[in-house]
């Protein structure tokens, strides 16, 4: 389930050879006073309610809050649940899942605030013979030893330096006690040569910001639309590929199937079919992506008025979310303005929205000054001051430049917040945006260009 928080960075998945669904908005981790470890009884409650078999358990501490990750399996799906204990009250959600398939090893990963991957051995013979697993992420090699009582799922988290969870491992090898290789993915099995739309989109957009004279174009359509697992899947595809006219209808039919009568869009079909009633702002990112898909395809939104009414409801509800940090509340307000720019409503409507949002100026100023430096923080602030100068956020150019210099990698790229190795193309794109917004030359530009070109080519998989 979704919770009362939002991060501007998308929760993205890493997977070898399977299609997955992911909850886009992570837990709000801004108030850590009341959180304690999830109890065995609470885990039993989750098992009973969700009808799952637990394949493994890991505790990740984020901002002093212990979050229990449960790898699970049902008859139809395999995935991960994130659970927290708020002073005795259980809070949990299905963070990521995929359909059960014949893959011998299944990898799922999340980078929406909590950064981890779950690697599950889905074959009895391999599991029984496993002594250790070696996981390769770009230039990073992680060795996972099988301990006594080891579950079927192995976890990789922030403790493993240099791992970039959005891209997934490039290779997994499993060895027995005699150090004999008993598993590696075959070309027709789990090894993936498909297009990485996440890396392609953000490397493309980054290259276009850096090289205005040599534009990187969208991919050519192969006339076959992939099976989308959710709104984010469809959004990445539409922004990465030149969509042919005959395919627009099918894509828009899928987007329309995720629409709610309340004026917003859901993340995926399963979320729509659930009986949960969530805070309105938790659907804002999926709604923004839906609006952008219509805009990108040159089609008028059939429910524009309802979406605009939904935005007013979200704005009214912001006053009830005082616990949100700057990236959360500022990110929500930024999404509202992005949707307005795409829908292009009347000047009077925009003026009314500006007035409604301006009342949050002092609150935004306070949480901005209190928040730790991050790429997302600075770009959100720059955008908000542009959308509405009355926010008047105290942005210091020297502070931004010092931070960007500090977190840039030797290859010119930028990693996920909190990591010193392992690139992330979205973080890199956001950082380049900041340089562009403050009109300052990007440091280590040639090395950055070389790295982005290599990522862009590799992301195209077997179409090259």
Q: Are 388 and 357 in contact (CB under 8 A)?
A: yes
Residue 299 to residue 233: CA distance in whole angstroms? 19
Q: What is the dihedral of CA 46, 48, 49, 55, to 10 degrees?
A: 50
Domain limits of the chain?
13-183
Question: Is the pTM value of this prediction over 0.75?
Answer: no
Pairing outcome for strands 65-73 and 53-62: antiparallel
Residues 315-363 pLDDT 10s: 998 887 777 889 999 999 999 999 999 999 999 999 999 999 999 999 9
Per residue in 185-202, pLDDT tens?
Answer: 764 444 444 678 888 999
For 112-123, how does the pLDDT look when each residue is reduced to its tens digit (9 = 90+)? 445 688 899 999
Q: Say if residue 303's pLDDT is above 60.
A: yes
Provide the pLDDT for residue 114.
Answer: 52
pLDDT tens-digit readout, 368-422? 999 999 999 999 999 999 999 999 999 999 999 999 999 999 999 998 776 666 6
* Structure-token pair, residue 396: 């210091």
């Amino acid at each position: 389930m979704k919770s009362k928080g939002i991060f501007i960075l998308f929760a993205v998945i890493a997977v070898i050879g399977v299609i997955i669904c992911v909850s886009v908005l992570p837990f709000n981790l801004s108030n850590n006073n009341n959180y304690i470890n999830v109890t065995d009884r609470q885990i039993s409650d989750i098992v009973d309610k969700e009808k799952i078999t637990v394949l493994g358990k890991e505790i990740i501490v984020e901002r002093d809050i212990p979050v229990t990750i449960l790898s699970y399996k049902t008859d139809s799906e395999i995935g991960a649940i994130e659970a927290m204990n708020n002073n005795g009250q259980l809070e949990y959600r299905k963070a990521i899942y995929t359909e059960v398939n014949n893959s011998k090893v299944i990898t799922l990963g999340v980078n929406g605030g909590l950064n981890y991957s779950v690697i599950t051995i889905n074959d009895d013979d391999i599991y029984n013979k496993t002594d250790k697993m070696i996981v390769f992420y770009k230039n990073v090699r992680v060795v996972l030893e099988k301990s006594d009582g080891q579950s079927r799922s192995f976890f990789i988290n922030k403790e493993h330096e240099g791992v970039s969870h959005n891209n997934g491992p490039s290779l997994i090898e499993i060895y027995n006690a005699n150090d004999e290789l008993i598993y590696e993915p075959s070309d027709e099995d789990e090894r993936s040569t498909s297009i990485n739309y996440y890396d392609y989109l953000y490397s493309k957009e980054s290259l276009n910001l850096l090289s205005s004279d040599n534009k990187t174009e969208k991919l050519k359509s192969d006339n076959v639309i992939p099976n989308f697992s959710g709104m984010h899947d469809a959004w990445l595809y539409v922004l990465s590929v030149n969509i042919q006219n005959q395919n627009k209808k099918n894509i828009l039919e899928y987007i329309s199937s995720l629409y709610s009568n309340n004026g917003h869009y859901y993340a995926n079909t399963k979320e729509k079919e659930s009986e949960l009633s969530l805070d309105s702002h938790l659907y804002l990112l999926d709604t923004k992506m839906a609006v952008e898909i219509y805009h990108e395809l040159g089609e008028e939104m059939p429910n524009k008025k309802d979406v605009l009414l939904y935005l007013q409801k979200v704005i009214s509800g912001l006053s009830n979310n005082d616990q949100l940090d700057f990236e959360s509340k500022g990110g929500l307000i930024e999404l509202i303005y992005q949707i307005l720019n795409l829908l292009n409503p009347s000047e009077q409507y925009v003026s009314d929205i500006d007035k409604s949002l301006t009342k949050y100026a002092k609150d935004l100023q306070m949480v901005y000054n209190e928040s730790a430096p991050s790429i997302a923080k600075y770009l959100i602030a720059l955008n908000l001051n542009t959308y509405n100068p009355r926010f008047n956020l105290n942005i210091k150019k020297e502070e931004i430049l010092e931070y960007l210099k500090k977190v840039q990698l030797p290859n010119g790229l930028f990693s996920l917040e909190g990591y010193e190795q392992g690139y992330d193309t979205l973080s890199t794109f956001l950082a380049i945006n900041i340089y562009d917004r403050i009109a300052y030359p990007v440091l280590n530009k040639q090395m950055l260009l070389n790295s982005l070109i290599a990522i862009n080519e590799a992301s195209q998989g077997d179409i090259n």
